[in-house]
Structure 1
Amino acid sequence: MAAPSNAEQTQLQDMEEEEEAGMEEREMESDEEEGMGVENSEDEEEDSSEDEKENEAEIQRLEEQLSINAFDYNCHVDLIKLLKQEGELFRLRKARQKMSELFPLTEEIWLDWLKDEIRLTEEDSNREKVYELFERAVKDYICPDIWLEYAQYSIGGMGSPGGIDKVRSIFERAVTAVGLHMTKGQTLWEAYREFENAVLSTVQPPPGRIPSREEQELLSAQLERIHTLFRRQLAVPLMDMETTYAEYEEWSENGVPETVVHLYRKALQQKEKCKSYEEALLVAEPPKLAEYQAYIDFELKEGDPARVQITFERALAENCLVPDMWTKYTTYLDRQLKIKDLVLSTHERAVRNCPWTMSLWKSYLQALERHGADHQSVSDVFEKALNAGFIQATDYVEIWQANLDYLRRRVDFSKESSKELEELRAAFSRSLDYLKQDVEERFGESGDPSCAIMQIWARIEAHHCKNMQKARELWDNIMTKGNAKYANMWLEYYSLERAYGDMTHCRKALHRAVQCTSDYPEHVCEVLLTFERVEGTLEDWDTAVQKTETRLNRINEQRAKAAEKETNLARHEEEKMEQRRKARAEKKAQKKSRGGEKRKAEQDDYQGDWTEESAPKRQRGNGDNNPDEYMETETGLFGRNAPPGNKPGPGGARNAQQGSAVAAQRQNDDRRELRDDSCSVFISNLAYTLEDPEAKLKLLFESCGPIRRVQLITGNRGISRGYGYVQFESAAAVPEALKLDRKEVEGRPMFVSPCVDKTKNPEFKVFKYNTSMEKHKIFISGLPFSCTKEELAEICKPHGSIRDVRLVTFRSGKPKGLAYVEFADETQASQAVLKLDGIDVEGNKISVAISNPPRRNLTDKPGSSRPAGDIMPRQAYGSRGRGRTQLSLLPRSLHRQPAPPGKVENGTAAERAPPPPPSGSTAANAAGEPRSLSNSDFAKMLLNK
């Protein structure tokens, strides 16, 4: 900061002397008023001095705190407020200067600073410093009030040479920047016109004198400027623009031109479109983020770049600490406007407001490269990014990768050696040291566990520099950092050797992979055998087979031990849960028995006291006591709807609802008896709130064949239960109808299945999809709920030919974040697992494995046709090495043989549960063999205890 000039020092001294003189006068007046003496004056001085001491101590504390942490924003604000309160002008200027170097200042801070500086610099020689301060202020945010203050201040210097042109230049920049501001832009336009009207008064000749030719030209030019300002303003949608139009009509001698009227009406239409968004902003509470988001989306659809820009700027003035808003704005500028000065200045403002956001720095570096910035500027921005203080270790890895990508693009690899290549290698080496020393010490983790930077370096050395020796050294370093147990790391190294190395090192890498891999050894063994089939001799083949068999046997033993340990642990937990369950059931049974005895005693007492005289009298029109209102009949009708002559039954109104339920059930049973199951399909999982479901089902199934009728099962109130039947004229339509299974109906999957007896049709599939391992299909978890089938197909398409994509959903139709993707063959699926596992999809880290669903206990279900031996056993470990054994939560003592199938109803087998066994028994049958129990068995066991 430059030292103050002599004129400034003189002004400051005069202000301080005047302030001291004023204080003395006020002290003297206070002594004379109301008879107050010298003692009161001394007390006031003591209080004032104490306040000054306290404020000075607080100022020193804040300055000391800022010396420790210069990025404490609130501390800067508090210090500026205190210094302004104390009148410490030089220290106040210094504090503001330091804060502006680190942070963008708000509109209020800038206006206070500018007004203070304007009061201090009345001389023309110091106006340039104020101009420089205004130029800094308008760069932080696009604020109409700052631009208006800037333009009005410049009017004070219009008497100097070139002053009028300078004022016009500032006004033009102002209306370009904020003239489209719908609520505040009009003030700026009017100030511009007032300035031009003031200039017009200076060029008009005195009344009665004929102007010269030069004076007439100046007058005409000035009038045309004002006309142009009116036309430009009326073409912009602004609040209260009708007043401006009326003013132009009055001012213009020849009326308003037709072209201006056309532009004015068009602007009025645009204002009406934006009016609702502006009104929402007026009534909303700051920071109005949701309202601005809606406004921005509207302007993006409209497609006017100038209006999009001003809307973004208005939103950022109130939401400057929202990184997503800056990202959206900079992305729009990068892809749409592509104006160098605007793009780079906005990126710079973004990282100044949100320096902790790595993605903003990364976009800034790419924008600098895209617009041809010099190498030193890019390097300086990168160094600032390293000191910005990111919140996680992976951010440093990504910013280093962005810088390394930039340096790699500068290298001309056709030359064996160059300055750029040496700089790239030095940057790779520095990045590894930085991540190891600085990042690991700060976060306690590397941020790059898979050594992605070293992998890229090795690729560059092998591909561009033909230096396989350096590439192998880097891969040895990668494997020593805990990556030797992962199959994908070994296969990545193998592919590098395959492309740029030799067969000897390929074989050596695969043998080491078989020995070290623990997460997916089967795949590595398969790759080794395939390699020897193509490249090796018989001796190489024998060695590979022996090594893979030995390794897989050892792995299977380890998995078996781990599975046994997990099973024992689970069994122990089951026994504990069973003991707690029995204790709760016994406690509940005891409580129930005590409650039953108590109710029985109360009922006996109540019936003994009941007499005809003590019974409450029933009166007509009295609500609950009106027999006409509550009457039960055989048809389930009661009240005024009952047939004449019926009397209330013994159950009274209490059984009315049960009667209607029985009637509804009888109606459903009658319909079931009339249905032909061979021509029908069973529909389920429909939404209860589906409007006119029968009409919608007819519309859905009419393409399958002629429909005889649609039957929906309803409850006692006539409300759909979400399932029913569609009966066709012929059985030929059923296969076509089954193809509509899982079709989405108002956001919910509809289940379609044949009307068959599952116990008498073994070929009927209980589960639609395969439950065994499918090596050509991958299972993906951790997907964002917004991910669609098309988006997932685009992600997987680069890794092979896709046959099918299936998103797993709940019965309600909401996604679970899981999916299955079927490829043409096993190789493509394996490559997809290696390439896709762990990648980010819309901020979610996904997990990918070969499809191997958990074993389903189908033999326990009467409708199951698959024997236990046909089901492939689940692997003890998944693709990432974790145990996935499926454990039964039922104690062994309760396992029993399946019960004989019961009556078939609604396409499902209904089981008849045997009487519950006595407490503590093993529930063995007559032959002494254990028998499997159904869910209803357990329910009765608990309820009857």
Structure 2
Amino acid sequence: MEEVKPDVEEEEINYDRGDGTAVASGAGSNEDRNPTSSGSDSDSDSDQEDAKELQIETLERQLEGNPLNYEVHVQYIQLLRKLCHIEKLRQARESMSCYFPLSPKMWQEWTKDEVLLNADSERFKEIEKLYERGVCEYLCVPLWCDYIDFVQERDPLVSQCAPAGLMKMRNLFERALTGAGLHVSEGSKIWEAYREYEQAILLTVDENDCKEKEKQAQRIRALFHRQLSVPLLNLKSTLVDYKLWEASQGNLNDVNSEFDGVPTNVVSAYQKALEMCNARASYEEQLSSSVASDLDKLQYFMNYIKLEESYGDPVRVQIVYERAVTEFPVSSDLWLGYTKYLDRTLKVSDFVKGVYSRATRNCPWVGEIWINRMLSLERMSASEEELSTVFELAIQSSFAGFTERAVDYLSPQVISIDDILRLHAYWARLEATIGKDIVAARGVWENLIKKSGSLLEVWQGYIAMEIRMGHINEARSIYKRCYSKRFQGTGSEDICHSWLQFEREYGSLDDLDLAAKKVTPRLQELKVFKMQQDSKASSLSTQKDNLGAPILSQKRKANKTFCDSKPPAKKRKDGAPKPSHESPTVPTSSSGVMENVEACDKQETTLQGTGGHGSNAKEAGDSKLNKSELFYSDKCTAFISNLSLEANEQHLHQVFKDSGGVTAIRLLRDKFTGKSRGLAYVDFSDEEHLAAGLTKSKQKLLGRKLSIARSNPKQGRKKSSDNIVSQGYGRGHLKKDPRNLGQPSSSLPREERGNERPARKVTFAAPRALVKPLGWSRREESRIDEAAEKPKSNEEFREMLIKK
């Protein structure tokens, strides 16, 4: 709850006390300092004042709609303070203090304003109460000092040194020392103010009253001794002041000797305090640093707290916690640590209650603090009324986590079903066991069924409660209500079988027969429905497989040719020369295999994209004639292989993030399982980004080195076809041209071949009846070649497959 810095200059605020006189809190306004200001300036000031009045009305409407807006409260108070709306200002401050603790600075402003408006101590008691409220909110040494000065100046009993006034003032100083006297860096201010007050009292004692004078001197001496035993900054200067004071009282001591005239017990306590102060000096220096960030200061406080806890002094730990929550009042971790420490160590109920009250007012959205507060009250044997009040305050607070909110604000759309079930089950159990109201417990489940009746777990939780409480008939009636409902997955079958099991354990034979009579038709209905769904899914899968069968079967065979070893070629009997370098050969490099694989992968991707739009078998067959349509013609695409099966598109995006220019990432997945195949394509916007992406090759991703190459579908397609011819026929079995027997048609001049496409025997997708059996002869080869001279159409090929 960071304090909003006001845009108000305090020195320009004037207060009208209502008697025609004005009291200024600082220098006068611009108009007072410049009485010869022009009329235009007056008009401008009037316009500004009207604008601020309009702003006040806007802030008031905002607070009416949302009184828990801290920033609006601060802005509203500062604006009223600048415009000197005294009554509204008091009401605004009181209203804000009902919802939030005011910061120390805001308390100082409030008390000073009231003191300024009541110079004649007309409202001394009310202002004194304000100071009391302020010093109880946070640890603030300046506010304690202001409070002490106010009482000294405005309380008649104190100013007249009456016995009641002396006792009141000393009690106030002792409270200040308890609250802030152990503050290492600022606590000495209160000690010095206390000593100065007692020294002033000493001057008022009658010179002839030696006994009273000695008694007062002993009070001052005791204060010095107490202060010298507390680890405070400037402790050495305090020792010097003590020796000087003793000298003024006639007790001579050696100025050059540090401990001359100082009692031994005081010296021992002083040395121990000085050692403790030195151990804390580094922490105080860190906290006083002006360049340290808030996060660093918070960490410094946490380290400081650990140091004090190691010394084992609860009061000193409490002081550091108080300083920390003053600096960071909305840090829930600090309040949780502070309150838990108090629960473990301190048994002062009033003090612990006050800390918990401040914690919940500063962090009302933290449910854990509210829970700990109520548990702490229960340990202190607090009354039912007090516990009820705290509980009502807790449920009115707005929590940050959905699991901490009241059940009326919960819904299945915003939290998990497990959280909802756990909350309602606990609520219903409280109603049934502690509240002894079974109707209310059932009402909890009935309300949840209205909201989430389609969830099987809700009905099961309701049934479980009735069974646990021994209400068998009520559980049976719930089964009758829900067995015919449709739940997700196998939930409908599960509830039916659960009812049968319930009747076997708790019901009679008639109850079991009745349940079976109702459940059996329902189970049969569910079975038929499931068979229909499976049949529909199977038909869709078959249709999809038929559409992609010709090409997909070719892809699987083509991949196999790269993995299987090439069979040895038979010895040629005709003595024909071996195929020349023009004959296609199987590539042995990994790049060739990679390109063939990527060509087939792209082919499959295209088929899935076109087949999903209802293309018929004829369109699939026609697309076979124009294979270029089955491949991506990407000019700026990288092909990625050797991917880890755990890698996804996000991982690849991180790899190429610094390269830039990535337009799309396509991870190849298995058609049936959906799992990654370890291959992917990455599209780039231009050649420059593609070149940068190719440099990522051999880079490790999830423990595997990536293989990245430029995607070239055309080359991959060509090599794939050449490999098929080479492995399908073996060496020397090239298609013979009828015009030039014994000579490969590829050796003919282009003019003689014309537009003739070289006929290649594709055996990897041919029926088994067309594949060469063992004992194949050249005579049979010539006969088959002549029969195969005319290629079959798609329809003929399909009929032939169906017959087989």
TM-score (norm 2): 0.57
- AA partner of residue 266 (structure 1): K
CA gap 1:450/1:26 in 2 versus in 1, 3 angstroms: closer
Answer yes or no: is the 8 Å Cα contact 2:452–2:458 preserved in 1.
Answer: no
Aligned to 1:432: none
Q: State the alpha-carbon separation in 2 of the partners of residues 67 and 532 from structure 1.
A: 59
SS in structure 2 of the partner of residue 887 of structure 1? coil
Gaps of 5+ in 2: 1-14, 252-259, 549-601, 611-628, 640-644, 646-668, 680-703, 705-714, 729-762, 767-804
CA distance, structure 2, for counterparts of residue 297 and residue 562 of structure 1: 68
* Distance across 1 between alignment mates of 2:406 and 2:722: 61
Q: Per the alignment, in what secondary structure is the counterpart of residue 182 of structure 2?
A: coil
Larger-gyration structure (1/2): 2
The superposition leaves residues 101-157 of structure 1 with CA deviations (integer Å, 9 ceiling, x where unpaired) of: 333222222212222222333335532222111011112211111011111222223
1:172-212 deviations in whole A, cap 9, x for unaligned? 1111111111111111111111111111222261xxxxx4x
- The amino acid of 2:300's aligned partner reads E
Mark the CA change 1:64 to 1:243 in structure 2 (over 3 Å): closer, same or farther: same
Q: 1:99 matched to which residue of 2?
A: 96
Asked if 2 retains the 8 angstrom alpha-carbon contact of 1:485 and 1:519, the reply is: no
What is the match of residue 241 of structure 2? 247
Report the equivalent of 1:285.
Answer: 293
Does the Cα contact within 8 Å between 2:431 and 2:441 map onto a contact in 1?
A: yes
3-state SS of the aligned residue for 2:123?
Answer: helix
From the superposition, tell whether residues 182 and 923 of structure 1 become closer, same or farther in structure 2 (CA, over 3 Å): farther
**Counterpart in the other structure of 2:194:** 192
Structure 1 window deviating more from structure 2 (163-172 vs 469-478): it is 469-478
Residue of 231, 252, 258 corresponding to 2:264: 258
Does the Cα contact within 8 Å between 2:421 and 2:458 map onto a contact in 1?
no
Structure 1 equivalent of residue 225 of structure 2: 231
Q: Look up the match of 1:499.
A: 468
Deviation at 1:310, TM superposition (A): 1.4
Contact 1:397 1:448 in 2 (8 A): no
TM-score by length of structure 1 reads 0.50
What letter matches 1:496 in structure 2? M
Change (3 A) 1:477 1:273: same
Measure, in 2, the Cα distance between the counterparts of 1:567 and 1:274. Answer: 76
Distance in 2 of aligned mates of 1:569 and 1:364: 67
- Cα deviations by residue, 1:3-53 (Å, 9 ceiling, x for unpaired): xxxxxx99652533999xx999969x966xxxxxxxx65455445544444
Alpha carbons 2:466, 2:475 under 8 Å: kept: yes
Alignment of 1:102-501 (within 5 A): 102-156=99-153, 157=155, 158-160=158-160, 161=162, 162-203=164-205, 205=207, 211=208, 215-252=209-246, 253=251, 255-283=261-289, 284-286=292-294, 288-391=297-400, 394-397=403-406, 435=408, 439=409, 450=420, 455-456=425-426, 458-460=428-430, 463=433, 475-483=445-453, 485-486=455-456, 488-501=457-470
Do the aligned partners of 1:393 and 1:446 also contact (CA within 8 Å) in 2?
Answer: no
**What is the deviation of 1:290?**
2.6
CA-atom RMSD in angstroms: 5.0
Deviates more, 1:373-382 or 1:442-451: 442-451
Deviation per CA, 1:46-73: give whole Å up to 9, x if none. Answer: 4554444444444444445444444443
Cα distance in 1, alignment partners of residues 60 and 431 from structure 2: 51
Show the counterpart of 1:887.
674
CA distance in 2, matches of 1:217, 1:275: 42
Cα deviation for residue 88 of structure 1 reads 4.2
Q: In structure 1, the residue corresponding to 2:184 is in which secondary structure?
A: coil
* CA distance, structure 2, for counterparts of residue 916 and residue 17 of structure 1: 93
What is residue 77 of structure 2 aligned with on the other side? 80
**Displacement of 1:362:** 3.7
Shift of 1:513: 6.7
**Partner residue of 1:575 out of 587, 594, 605:** 605
- Against the structure 1 CA distance between its residues 495 and 113, is the aligned structure 2 distance closer, same or farther, given a 3 Å change threshold? closer
Q: Which aligned pairs between 1:725-740 and structure 2 lie closer than 5 A?
A: none
Tell me the distance in 2 between the aligned counterparts of 1:589 and 1:118: 79
| Contact kept in structure 1, 2:56 and 2:79, CA below 8 Å | yes
Does the 8 A contact of 1:286 with 1:318 survive in 2? no
Query: Within 2, Cα distance between the matches of 1:368 and 1:922?
Result: 86
**C-alpha separation between the residues in 1 aligned to 2:502 and 2:416?**
34
What letter corresponds to residue 167 of structure 1 in structure 2? M
**In the alignment, what sits opposite 2:796?**
none
Deviation at 1:448, TM superposition (A): 9.8
CA–CA separation in structure 1 for the residues paired with 2:232 and 2:418: 53
Alpha-carbon distance in structure 1 between the residues aligned to 2:187 and 2:23: 42
How much does 1:261 deviate?
2.3
Cα distance per residue 1:837-880 (max 9 Å; x no partner): xxxxxxxxxxxxxxxxxxxx9xx9xxxxxxxxxxxxxxxxxxxx
What SS class does the counterpart of residue 342 from structure 1 fall into?
A: helix
Rounded to whole Å, the distance in 1 between the matches of 2:71 and 2:403 is: 28
Residue 841 (structure 1) aligns with = none
What is the CA–CA distance in structure 2 between the aligned matches of 1:467 and 1:170, rounded to whole Å?
53
Give the Å deviation of 1:886: 4.0
Is contact 1:463-1:500 (8 Å) kept? no
Percent identity reads 32
**Shift of the alpha carbon at 1:238?**
1.5
Amino acid aligned to 1:305: P
Distance 2:421 2:133 in 1: 43
2:398–2:405 CA contact under 8 A, matched in 1? no
Task: Supply the distance in 2 between the matched residues of 1:503 and 1:441 (Cα, whole angstroms).
Answer: 30
Summarize the Cα distance change of 1:225–1:560 in structure 2 as closer, same or farther, 3 Å threshold. farther
Contact 2:17/2:23 (8 A) holds in 1 = no
Letter in 1 for 2:316: R
What letter is aligned with 2:267? V
- Residue pair 1:180, 1:236 contacting (<8 A) in 2 also: yes
SS at match of 2:369: helix
- For residues 42 and 386 of structure 1, do their structure 2 counterparts lie closer, same or farther at Cα, with a shift above 3 Å needed? same
Call closer, same or farther: CA 1:536–1:71 in 2, change over 3 Å: closer
Following superposition, the deviation at residue 577 of structure 1 comes to 11
Q: Aligned runs of 1:347-746 on 2, under 5 Å? A: 347-391=356-400, 394-397=403-406, 435=408, 439=409, 450=420, 455-456=425-426, 458-460=428-430, 463=433, 475-483=445-453, 485-486=455-456, 488-501=457-470, 516=485, 518=488, 521=491, 540=512, 543=516, 550=524, 553=527, 557=531, 575=605, 587=635
Moved more, 114-123 or 513-522: 513-522
Call closer, same or farther: CA 1:506–1:77 in 2, change over 3 Å. Answer: closer
Q: What amino acid sits opposite 2:178 in the alignment?
A: T
Aligned to 1:407: none
Larger relative contact order, structure 1 or 2 (CA cutoff 8 Å, min sep 6) = 2
- Confirm or deny: 8 A CA contact 1:296 1:308 kept in the other structure: yes
Q: For residues 66-117 of structure 1, give each alpha carbon's deviation from its aligned partner in whole angstroms, at most 9, with x where no partner exists.
A: 4444444333333433444344444444443333333322222221222222
Distance 1:513 1:140, change over 3 A: same
Give the alignment of 1:897-916 within 5 angstroms: none
In 1: Cα distance, 2:608 partner to 2:42 partner: 82
- Tell me the secondary structure at the aligned position of residue 236 of structure 1: coil
- The size of the alignment, in residue pairs, is 552
